[in-house]
Amino acid sequence: MFGGGIRIGSVFGIEIRIDGSWVVIALLIAWGLYAQFRMVFEDLAPEPAAGLGIVTAALFFGSVLLHELSHSVVARSLGIPVAGITLFLFGGVTQTKLDAQSPGDEFKIAIVGPVTSIILAAVFWLLTVTVGAASPDPIAWALGYLGWINLALGIFNLLPGFPLDGGRVLRSILWKRSGSVTQATKGAARGGQIVAIGMIAIGLVQVFSGYLGGLWLAAIGWFLYQAAGASAANVVVRRMLRDLSAGDLMSPNPVTIPAGLTLADAVDHYFLRYDHSAFPVDDDGVVTGLLTLRAVRHVPRDQWDFIQVWRTMAPLDDIQCVASDLPMDQVLEQFESDEIDRVLVMDDGRVLGIITPRDVARWVQRSQELGITSTEG
Ligand SMILES: [Zn+2]
């Protein structure tokens, strides 16, 4: 989900992306508003109704964006770097490069979103009673609608279920009380699942009593239920990885390829023999680069007999290297934010090992199979 979506620009240096789902939702909302305008104001011609529908949908979009920006700005003011905002479905996610370091920070970052939405609701309400009162009815109606939708957004996000803002608030309170962020996350995620089940139940009751709109509520509940479980698992894994260093998890003593070998020999004796897609390149006992399967594939096959490994490899300067004592949660962060396939673990210019996302996944799976799924902290 993260990193995907279409980049639409940046505000205060915070990158903003929209998920494909948002395009569909935005069109549905604009269409729904158009239909509402035509229904409520029978004299309204199709063109102004469509214009109003689009402008109102855009203002709704802007409201959601302001909500997310408030999270980002507060996070950044607390020293937590923000990777970007992705808008999807009815809301968005603000992706930070680090988790909040204290319950107090977590509380501030979480609560500011719903507060922003409720302030926006108040602003639109004020506009409704001032500007709206002097404007044609459809404009007053649109302002009133924006007030209500922001109020609903604020209240919905305050529901005490992780990963909703209210769930993060709950987590910060549980965290402060117990001192354990893992326990707090599990508690808040359970809250998320209870809220989700409640939404699904209410949605289904509505459907069975003939109101098909209940399907939306049930669908959002289902989405929230999945997200609660996944987010909790993600936080627990990160927490486990924090206690581990790159040196603990790397595949040690990687097989190296001599720099002078031809690509044909490298393919026959290394790529086809070992289960690795990259090999450090050894030049007289010193690692000078990395030869990847992808780089070899870029060389036309009829040249493999004539081109040496050192001419095809990526030089060491272009490869992400980490020290063996770097905590694994930070290595994971590099995989996610830099979209790289591997890091070399190096101490004093010597290559000690390699880590790929697959190594991390395998470690997590093994730990779970062995029942080592929670650490305190
Ligand atoms: Zn929020």
Report the distance separating Cα 299 and Cα 82, nearest Å.
39
Strand ranges in 113-229 using DSSP code E only, listed in sequence order = none
Q: For position 3, what pLDDT does the model report?
A: 47
Q: For position 138, what pLDDT does the model report?
A: 82
Ligand 1 centroid–CA 67 distance in Å is 6
Report the distance separating Cα 89 and Cα 69, nearest Å.
17
Ligand 1 centroid–CA 157 distance in Å is 6
pLDDT confidence band for 140 (50 / 70 / 90): confident
Ligand 1 centroid–CA 108 distance in Å is 11
pLDDT confidence band for 97 (50 / 70 / 90): low
Distances (CA, A) of 327 to 186, 239, 331, 349: 23, 10, 7, 19
Q: How many C-alpha atoms does 114 have within 13 Å on its Cβ side? A: 18
Mean local confidence (pLDDT), 284-305:
89
> Does the pLDDT of residue 359 top 60, yes or no?
yes
Ligand 1 centroid–CA 158 distance in Å is 9
Ligand 1 centroid–CA 114 distance in Å is 6
Mean local confidence (pLDDT), 180-190:
85
Q: Which residues are catalytic?
A: 68
User: % helix / strand / coil in the chain, to the nearest 5?
Assistant: 60, 15, 25
CA nearest to 188, candidates 107, 116, 108: 107
Q: For position 231, what pLDDT does the model report?
A: 77
Q: For position 319, what pLDDT does the model report?
A: 82
Q: For position 90, what pLDDT does the model report?
A: 59
Q: Give tens-digit pLDDT for 1-22.
A: 344 678 888 888 888 888 877 7
pLDDT confidence band for 337 (50 / 70 / 90): low
Structure tokens at 284: 């007289």
DSSP letters for 165-191: HHHHHHHHHHHHHHS-HHHHHHHHHHH
> Does the pLDDT of residue 174 top 80, yes or no?
yes
pLDDT confidence band for 375 (50 / 70 / 90): very low
> Does the pLDDT of residue 132 top 90, yes or no?
no
More reliable by pLDDT, 233 or 97: 233
Ligand 1 centroid–CA 216 distance in Å is 20
Ligand 1 centroid–CA 152 distance in Å is 13
Distances (CA, A) of 331 to 142, 197, 239: 48, 36, 13
More reliable by pLDDT, 162 or 135: 162
> Does the pLDDT of residue 238 top 60, yes or no?
yes
Cα 119 from chain centre: 26
Ligand 1 centroid–CA 257 distance in Å is 50
Report the distance separating Cα 276 and Cα 254, nearest Å.
9
Cα angle, residue 34 at apex, residues 29 and 40 outer, rounded to 5°: 120
Report the distance separating Cα 33 and Cα 110, nearest Å.
30
DSSP code of residue 128: I
Q: Give tens-digit pLDDT for 19-76.
A: 877 778 888 888 888 888 888 887 778 888 888 888 988 898 899 889 999 999 999 8
Global pTM?
0.68
Ligand 1 centroid–CA 240 distance in Å is 26
Report the distance separating Cα 311 and Cα 304, nearest Å.
11
pLDDT confidence band for 135 (50 / 70 / 90): low
pLDDT confidence band for 88 (50 / 70 / 90): confident
Report the distance separating Cα 314 and Cα 269, nearest Å.
20
